[in-house]
Amino acid sequence: MIIGIAGTLGSGKGMAAEYLAKKHNFTYLSVRNFFAQEVLRRGKMVTRDAIAQVALELRAQYGKTHAVEQLVGRIIVGKNIVIESIRTKEEAGYLKEKGALLWAVDADPQVRYQRILQRDASTENISFEQSIEKEMKEGVLTEVISMADTVLQNNGTKEEFFAAIDSALAKVAPKA
């Protein structure tokens, strides 16, 4: 089983992927980390803006599904895989063509902003207004979220979110 996870900034995409990896033995791959590795390879500091710039460059050079294609190429047959940080409708479409499920994670903008503040200040030091503006500039992922097979809201506790993930997984996991 392959699950792609999309979602808004600070919604909990990474938390969902980590949970699937730790609790349900999924192999965790990340589009964001794919681009971050390229930033490092170029000898630059990994920041949100540097990752976004490299993503734009690589998508322009190799196509909008380049990162996801590279990650899918790493998949081991028979393993459950979660690919986090699906950002474009092309990436989502590519995964769905490969038989993947697409999950979207979202949360209230204020909740997401508080989470952003708790992150490393060097990459996420922005005001609430800037976070909304940045999200609008980057796209709220509405097209990708509308393609999702499952949309998870993450406004409560971690335990509530993990229970929602377990419930969503139980609906699609093959019965043993």
Picking from 7-11, 37-41, 64-68, 80-84, which range would have the lowest pLDDT averaged per residue? 7-11
Which of 61, 67, 78 is CA-nearest to residue 29? Answer: 67
Architecture of domain 2-30+76-172: 3-Layer(aba) Sandwich (3.40)
Identify the burial level of 103 via C-beta atoms within 10 angstroms of its C-beta, where 0-12 means exposed, 13-18 middle and 19 or more buried.
buried
Higher pLDDT, 32 or 135: 32
Q: Is the pLDDT of residue 65 over 60?
A: yes
Residue 131 has pLDDT above 70, yes or no: no
Residue ranges per structural domain of the chain: 2-30+76-172
- Rounded to whole angstroms, how far apart are CA atoms 103 and 82? 10
Question: Using one digit for the tens of pLDDT, what is the confidence trace for 4-60?
Answer: 999 988 899 999 999 999 999 999 999 999 999 999 999 999 988 899 899 999 999
Q: Please tell me the number of Cα atoms within 13 Å of 62 on its side-chain side.
A: 11
pLDDT > 90? residue 115: no
Task: Tell me the average pLDDT of the chain.
Answer: 88
Distance separating alpha carbons of residues 100 and 94, to the nearest angstrom: 9
DSSP β-bridge partners for residue 28: 82
